[in-house]
Amino acid sequence: MGKRKILLCDDELSYAEEIKKMIIDLYPDAFDIQTATDQSFDINKQYDVYFLDIDMPSISGFDLAIEVHKYHPEALLVFLTSHEELSMDGYQYRAFRFISKLRLEAMLPRTLKELKEYFNQFDQIINVKDVNDLTVAIHIKDITCLIAKGNYMDFNTESGVFSKRMKVKEFLKDTHSEIFVPVERGVLVNMRHVKKYDYKTGELFIQDGMHLKVTKKYKEEFLKQYVKRGIYSS
């Protein structure tokens, strides 16, 4: 795909421009970057990634995050602030990462590297078989869960179930994917598609009509990823 679109939003436009220059210096050809303030922010313009200053006078970055995910649910959020104690609050808004302005030079390059890896992973496709045994290509990002069946794997998506002769380890090695987490033997879920997790019953909801259960063996690792990615059940 082409350049990923980034919006840098800070109440001080000069600071947003400073970050823009840093990104261009690090990755001159990877991103299309725009800047805005809390006053000029336009929710109708869509970006792949929103860098949002948390502490702005007319609207907080957290409130902007709610609006962004309301209109652009697949967008990634990166919060910026001088108040590091707010970092955990940021994950309640499904933050991709949190950057302290006090450690910008150290944290920004790492975050950009992770963004590139994330998008490279999601741009991948895999050739699979549909229900009519025809070969079709699907995006890795559209897979909601993987189910191993002997020497084959089922790839569940919102549009249907596909299959391929492949082992789970082979799939993970080929895709370098870290978004698929095991929840029971032979079953992995795409954490980006997790809609809700019930702590009491262990039930996991990923798509309409499909409920899974996180077994005891995999619960600890699943919960680490669940919290890390800022997904919270009601």
Q: Give the tens place of pLDDT for each residue, 10-31.
A: 999 999 999 999 999 999 999 9
Mean pLDDT of 137-148: 92
pLDDT value at residue 193: 84
pLDDT value at residue 173: 84
Q: Which of 161-170, 176-185, 201-210, 214-223 has the lowest mean pLDDT?
A: 201-210
**Which residues share a beta bridge with 146?**
155, 188
For the chain, percent of residues with pLDDT exceeding 70: 90
Mean pLDDT of 137-149: 92
For residues 89 and 62, the answer to whether their CB atoms sit within 8 Å is yes
pTM for the whole structure: 0.65
Distances (CA, A) of 219 to 91, 183, 185, 204, 227: 20, 7, 12, 11, 12
111 Cβ partners below 8 Å, 6+ apart?
78, 97, 99
Q: Give the tens place of pLDDT for each residue, 193-214.
A: 887 888 888 888 887 667 789 9
For residues 6 and 31, the answer to whether their CB atoms sit within 8 Å is yes
- Residue 233 pLDDT grade (very low, low, confident, very high; cuts 50, 70, 90): very low
Distances (CA, A) of 165 to 141, 153, 155, 175: 20, 6, 11, 15
- Residue 219 pLDDT grade (very low, low, confident, very high; cuts 50, 70, 90): very high
Q: Give the tens place of pLDDT for each residue, 16-71.
A: 999 999 999 999 999 999 999 999 999 999 999 999 999 899 999 999 999 998 89
